[in-house]
Chain A
Amino acid sequence: MLLEVKNLTKIYENKPIIRNINLKINKGDIYTLIGPSGAGKSTLLRIIDLLEKPSSGEIIFNGVQTGNLNKSQEVNLRRRMALLHQKVTLFNMSVFDNVAYGLSLRGVQSNIIRRKVQEALLKVGLAELEKQNATLLSGGEAQRTALARCMVLEPELLLLDEPTANLDPPNISLIEALIKDMNKEMGTTIIIATHNMSQAKRLDGRVGFILNGEILEEGEAQAIFSKPSSDRIRAFIDGVIV
Chain B
Amino acid sequence: MGDPIIDGIINALILLFTGDPATWQVIFLSLRVSGLAVAFASMLGVPIGVIIGMNNFFGKNTIISLINTLMGLPPVVVGLVVFLLISRTGPLGSLSLLYTPTAIMIGQIIIATPIIAGVTLAGVSSIDISVIETAKSLGATRSQTWALIVREARVSILSGVAVGFGQSISEVGASMMLGGNIEGFTRVMTTDIVLQTSQGNYGQALALGLILIIIAFIINSLVLTRLQLRSKKLAGRRIMSIRLIPVK
Chain A: residues with CB nearer than 8 A to chain B?
Answer: 49, 51, 71-72, 75, 78-79, 81-83, 85, 87, 89, 91-93, 101-102, 105-106, 128-129, 132-133, 135-136, 149-150, 153
Q: How many B residues touch A, CB cutoff 8 Å? A: 24
Bound Cα distance from A156 to B134, whole angstroms: 18
Q: Pick out which of these stretches binds chain A: B23-31, B70-78, B139-147.
A: B139-147
Q: Does B138 sit within 8 A of A, measured CB to CB?
A: yes
Q: Does B238 sit within 8 A of A, measured CB to CB?
A: yes
Contact assessment for B139 and A51 in the assembled complex, using a CB-CB cutoff below 8 Å: no
Contact assessment for B138 and A51 in the assembled complex, using a CB-CB cutoff below 8 Å: no
Contacts known (A87-B130, A89-B130, A93-B151); A135 close to B231, Cβ less than 8 A: yes
Contact for A75 among B128, B141, B152, CB less than 8 A: B141
Contact assessment for B137 and A105 in the assembled complex, using a CB-CB cutoff below 8 Å: no
Q: Which 4 residue pairs spanning A and B have beta carbons closest together?
A: A79-B139, A102-B138, A83-B137, A89-B130
Contact assessment for B138 and A132 in the assembled complex, using a CB-CB cutoff below 8 Å: no
Contact assessment for B235 and A136 in the assembled complex, using a CB-CB cutoff below 8 Å: yes
Q: Does B133 sit within 8 A of A, measured CB to CB?
A: yes
Report A-chain residues with C-beta under 8 Å of the C-beta of B230: 133
Report A-chain residues with C-beta under 8 Å of the C-beta of B137: 49, 51, 78, 81-83, 85
Q: Does B81 sit within 8 A of A, measured CB to CB?
A: no
Bound Cα distance from A93 to B141, whole angstroms: 19
Contacts known (A85-B137, A91-B131, A153-B139); A132 close to B148, Cβ less than 8 A: no
Q: Does B237 sit within 8 A of A, measured CB to CB?
A: yes
Contact assessment for A71 and B142 in the assembled complex, using a CB-CB cutoff below 8 Å: yes
Report A-chain residues with C-beta under 8 Å of the C-beta of B140: 75, 105
Contact for B138 among A71, A72, A105, A135, CB less than 8 A: A105
Chain B: residues with CB nearer than 8 A to chain A?
Answer: 128, 130-131, 133-142, 144, 148, 151-152, 230-231, 234-235, 237-238, 241
Contact assessment for A106 and B151 in the assembled complex, using a CB-CB cutoff below 8 Å: no
Contacts known (A87-B130, A132-B234, A135-B231); A101 close to B138, Cβ less than 8 A: yes
Contact assessment for A51 and B133 in the assembled complex, using a CB-CB cutoff below 8 Å: yes
Bound Cα distance from A79 to B137, whole angstroms: 8
Contacts known (A89-B128, A136-B234, A136-B235); A153 close to B138, Cβ less than 8 A: yes
How many residue pairs between the two chains, A and B, have CB atoms under 8 Å in the bound complex?
66
Bound Cα distance from A83 to B139, whole angstroms: 10
If over half of A's interface residues share one DSSP class (helix, strand or loop), that class is named, otherwise mixed; here it is: mixed
Report B-chain residues with C-beta under 8 Å of the C-beta of A89: 128, 130-131, 133-134
Bound Cα distance from A105 to B136, whole angstroms: 10
Identify which of B139, B140, B152, B231 gathers the most chain A CB atoms within 10 Å of its CB: B139
Bound Cα distance from A153 to B128, whole angstroms: 24
From residue B53, how far is it (CB to closest CB) to chain A in Å? 17
Enumerate 17 A-B pairs (CB-CB under 8 Å) in ascending A order. A71-B141, A78-B136, A85-B133, A87-B130, A92-B151, A93-B151, A101-B148, A102-B139, A105-B138, A105-B144, A128-B241, A129-B241, A132-B238, A136-B231, A149-B138, A150-B138, A153-B139
Bound Cα distance from A101 to B231, whole angstroms: 19
Report B-chain residues with C-beta under 8 Å of the C-beta of A81: 137
Contact assessment for A106 and B139 in the assembled complex, using a CB-CB cutoff below 8 Å: yes
Contact for A91 among B136, B139, B152, CB less than 8 A: B152
From residue B246, how far is it (CB to closest CB) to chain A in Å? 14
Bound Cα distance from A78 to B130, whole angstroms: 17
Closest to B242 in A: A138
Report A-chain residues with C-beta under 8 Å of the C-beta of B130: 85, 87, 89
Bound Cα distance from A72 to B237, whole angstroms: 41
From residue A81, how far is it (CB to closest CB) to chain B in Å? 8
Report B-chain residues with C-beta under 8 Å of the C-beta of A83: 137
Contact assessment for B133 and A91 in the assembled complex, using a CB-CB cutoff below 8 Å: no
Bound Cα distance from A189 to B175, whole angstroms: 66
Report B-chain residues with C-beta under 8 Å of the C-beta of A133: 230-231, 234
Bound Cα distance from A191 to B181, whole angstroms: 71
Contact assessment for B136 and A51 in the assembled complex, using a CB-CB cutoff below 8 Å: yes
From residue B148, how far is it (CB to closest CB) to chain A in Å? 7
Report A-chain residues with C-beta under 8 Å of the C-beta of B148: 91, 101
**What would 10 more interface pairs be, CB under 8 Å, given A51-B133, A92-B152, A101-B138?**
A71-B141, A75-B139, A78-B136, A82-B138, A89-B130, A89-B131, A89-B133, A93-B151, A106-B139, A132-B234
Bound Cα distance from A71 to B151, whole angstroms: 23
Bound Cα distance from A133 to B241, whole angstroms: 13
Closest to B238 in A: A136
Contact assessment for B142 and A132 in the assembled complex, using a CB-CB cutoff below 8 Å: no
